[in-house]
A and B are shown apart, each in its own frame.
Chain A
Amino acid sequence: MRRLLVIALLTLLVVPTAIAVEPDEILSDSVLEARARALSKELRCMVCQNQSIDDSQAPLARDLRVLVRERLQMGESDQQVVDFLVTRYGEFVLLRPRFSWHTALLWFGPLAILIIGASGVLVLARRYRAKVGRSAANHEGLTAAEAARVSEILRAGEH
């Protein structure tokens, strides 16, 4: 049994464990660790389908998590760490693409659609108001006072 344990301990370093952030990766400095976790959620595990390195169990994700922590321990800022990873792996590593000319449509698309839709609705609303205005103008026989009286009666009838 004891010999088994020794063998087991010897192999400890090479046995991969399948769990996302592993206990031995966690930094003792909790502030740095929190920064590392926040960064990890923004970085893609490049061999996985749409997983951040924080979620992924792939060995590459583990390497990247360790790398991020090493850079943070070297005193780099979050931005420096991200820049380093982007120069190494390209923008593919970012889960939140940077704003640039080729992502302009991505970032402004939703807003543009909302604005286009809203202006469409506004145009229709204005057209409606014009139509109502015209039909109101058609009631030529009514003076302003009469019109007010009519709407008063109608409002009373509604309640």
Chain B
Amino acid sequence: MIAESGHYALVLALALALVQMTVPFVGARKNDPVLMAVAGPTAVAQLCFVALAFGALMICYVRSDFSVLNVFENSHSAKPLVYKLSGVWGNHEGSMLLWVFILTVFGALVALFGANLPARLKASVLAVQSSIAAAFLLFILITSNPFLRISEAPFEGRDLNPILQDPGLAIHPPLLYVGYVGLSISFSFAIAALIEGRIDAAWARWVRPWTLLAWIFLTLGIAMGSYWAYYTLGWGGWWFWDPVENASFMPWLAATALLHSALVMEKRDALKVWTTLLAILAFSLSLIGTFLVRSGVLTSVHAFATDPMRGVFILMILAVFIGGSFALFALRAPLLKQGGLFAPVSREGALVLNNLFLVSACATVFIGTLYPLALEALTGEKISVGAPFFNATFVPLFIPLLIAVPFGPLLGWKRGDLLGVAQRLVGAAGVGLITVAVVFAMEGGGPILVPFAIGLALYVMAGALTEVVERTGLLKVPLATAFARAKGLPRSAWGATFAHFGLGIALLGIIGETQWSLERIAELRPGQSISIRRYDFQFDGLTTRQGPNYRDLTAHFTVRRHGEIVGAMEPARRSFPSRGTAITETALMTRGVSQLYLSLGEPNPDGSLAVRLYYKPLVLLIWFGAVGMAIGGVLSLSDRRLRVGAPKPARTKTALLPAE
């Protein structure tokens, strides 16, 4: 009964979505306030029904109702409650339902908090938003219905893939989906603006916070996924340039570019056409990401052909939304009037440069991810594009961007003074150069690239702080004065500082981990030891432990540093009888921002055990950096002008250029 209610709620939500995508749209064209007013309540009602469906599926999981096919295939009665709940989106059907659920949440948010939007814009935005919801609801109902029953209910479920039985599953997909789907709002705004044929700074002020919100979640979602992969896969990698990862990284790059270009549009009324295009691009990449992950096309082009229904349906959604929006863009973009002019060397110019490199980097990931698919489909030839390719192409594109990052916030709007900014960055550059020298000396030769990269990271960090240090007068005025001034700085300035500083921190972690990681692989018997960088690990023996739906074979290690015990590490092999599979539970020990990482192979019958041990210097900085970026986003989001919706009066500054 509950499953049927959920199914029925989805059908009703689809009906509401169809109403919401047509009636307010017609209303906006005819300027009819009654028709336009339909949008708001429908959006909220749509959310209610999708939430009802989502809740129904959750109840089916909690109750282990194995008469529901989806529950039978992905759950087990002995599974801990948290994995029963997170298992709801640990499969195709459930994750699509989560996708639509978040989509309707965003639609309802616009309906509820969009009171200060022009009525026509609001109606159009909600209509576009609802068309996406309609497409995906239809997709779920036709090809991926999570509420299908089995005629004779099995006694026990097949259980969730053991790798997914991890707290990561409870956090990572929802964060990522909020990010993916959040970009639909800026997309809807862009399409609405193109339909209306006008776009202004108020539009940008509306779009920026939504993009920022999506970007924050996307950043955290990607970071969380990376950490999850790091501790769960057993060899300590945290980024693999896997197509599934790339699918989330491309929208992130595009959203990062969009954030920066929307800034130009909001402040200076320039880059309108480009910002619109980026908004379309960012969400298109989200859709492509969903397609890549969901259609099975990644494993092989042939998997796509054997079960074509879903793939073809998503392909159609892609064609309609991406093709349609680009066609609309080509048709209507010339109508958007270009705004303020700016000199090449200016804050705007720097942001254009940022966009140029971010979009190129994004294109690199796009080409690398889709090239093998395209080549195989066209010529039947199979090639692989993996991490070595991306490292060779993506990294060189990112280095100039990193050098330019500190310049942006210091350059003036309209026309900047490059030399002056360079002088103000002497301190940061000095920090970078000294670091290069120190690291070079410490390394005693070796590849020059490593000291250079570490220096670059510290330069980015110091550069990020330069603006705050200058504006608060830190180091020059008494600390209290500087503190008072710091409180007075706009939150968005703090946001940029945190985000850029976080970027530097992440960079430091990435270089530290990739360049200085140590690895030991050995076969140990109880009583034997292995050591890595001043740490000794003594293998004390194996024990077994029974969990709710698994059995652990735990290895006990005593960790000593210079002979003193610093702790114990207990990696395990976890086997799941329901699926007949086993996974590695790695053990981690955090030392400062570095980690010791221990994972196991299967025990040999002679009682010895294959062990992989890593020392991962600075590795935690990778994720701290990402969190720093997200904090920057939150600070920027809390800026007065975004909260109140009214910009502060511009600082009185005599313009050098004649007003246009």
Contact = CB atoms under 8 A, between A and B. Distances in A.
Interface of A: 5, 7-9, 11-12, 15-24, 26, 41-42, 44, 49-52, 55, 90-97, 102-103, 105-107, 109-110, 113-114, 117-118, 121, 125, 128, 131-132, 135, 151, 154-155, 157-158
A26 B243 contact: no
A121 B355 CA distance: 11
Given A24-B523, A106-B385, A117 B360 contact: yes
Contact of A11 (B363, B605, B612): B605
Contact of B389 (A26, A55, A96, A157): A96
B410 to A, nearest CB: 15
Q: Please indicate which of the listed interface residues A8, A42, A155, A158 has the most CB atoms of chain B within 10 Å of its own CB.
A: A158
A96 B391 CA distance: 10
Given A106-B367, A109-B363, A158-B656, A95 B389 contact: yes
Contacts of B343: 128, 132
Nearest to B233: A55
Interface stretch (B138-146, B376-384, B458-466, B551-559): B376-384
Interface string B578-610: 000010100000000000000111101111001
A109 B367 CA distance: 7
* Shortest 8 CB-CB contacts between residues of A and residues of B: A95-B386, A8-B605, A19-B601, A96-B388, A110-B364, A17-B601, A114-B360, A23-B523
Nearest to B584: A18
A16 B657 contact: no
Given A12-B604, A52-B386, A121-B356, 6 more contacts: A11-B605, A18-B582, A18-B601, A22-B601, A106-B367, A155-B656
Nearest to A9: B606
A23 B613 CA distance: 12
Interface in B304-358: 341-344, 349, 352-353, 356-357
Nearest to A96: B388
Contacts of B359: 113, 117
A117 to B, nearest CB: 5
Interface string B204-241: 00000000000000000000000000000011010011
A101 B301 CA distance: 22
Nearest to B599: A19
Contact of A158 (B386, B607, B654): B654
B387 A95 contact: yes
Interface in B598-657: 599-602, 604-607, 610, 612, 653-654, 656-657
A142 to B, nearest CB: 12
A157 B652 CA distance: 10
A103 to B, nearest CB: 7
A110 B657 contact: no
A105 B389 CA distance: 13
Contact of A113 (B342, B360, B384): B360
B386 A50 contact: yes
B606 A128 contact: no
Contact of A50 (B243, B349, B356, B522): B243
18 contacts: A9-B605, A19-B600, A23-B523, A41-B387, A49-B242, A50-B243, A50-B386, A51-B240, A95-B386, A97-B385, A102-B379, A102-B383, A105-B371, A110-B364, A110-B367, A132-B657, A151-B656, A154-B656
Contact of A44 (B298, B352, B375, B386): B386
A110 to B, nearest CB: 4
Given A92-B383, A96-B389, A21 B360 contact: no
B605 A106 contact: no
Contact of B356 (A7, A52, A114): A114
A121 B360 contact: no
Contacts of A131: 341
